Amino acid sequence: MPTILVVDDDPDARRTFRRALEDVGYLVVEAADGREAWKAVVDRFFDLVILDLSMPEEDGIELICSIRTELPHVKVLAVSEFLGGAFLPAVKHLGAASCLHKPVMEDVLLPEVCKVLAAHG
């Protein structure tokens, strides 16, 4: 079963994602910010990192860039309250496989996670 790292400074958002993902069998690890997430991704393998773009310490944009540079095999799904139509292509250009607008409902999250995990490259 794929292992997913959920990175968000909002503990409620992390808990919501964890429950939804674990309920369908994914293994989930949480991180509260980009620095904690970076330590996690270099210490163990993750199939997918779901990350909020706006966080203290190292934000999601910085984390996407670090992952793309150092761990290009790890897929990234970005989430944000502030995503706009023009911003989505920029986030994808940085290396996110997909982007979702928060709050993310389970019926949107789970199919998108499946789609990202199934994509090659």
pTM (two decimals) = 0.92
pLDDT at 76 over 90: yes
Percent residues over pLDDT 70 in the chain? 94
CATH code, domain with 21: 3.40.50.2300
Q: Residue 3 carries which side chain, given as an amino acid letter? A: T
Tell me the average pLDDT across 83-97. Answer: 75
- CA nearest to 60, candidates 78, 72, 46: 78
Q: What is the pLDDT of residues 22-74, one digit of tens each?
A: 999 999 999 999 999 999 999 999 999 999 988 877 778 889 999 999 999 99
What's the half-sphere exposure (Cβ side, CA atoms, 13 Å) at 56? 3
- Looking at the structure of the chain, the number of domains it has is 1
> Which structural domain, as residue segments, surrounds residue 17?
3-118
**So what's the pLDDT on residue 5?**
98
* Res 86: pLDDT: 58
φ, ψ for residue 41 (rounded to 5)?
A: -70, -25
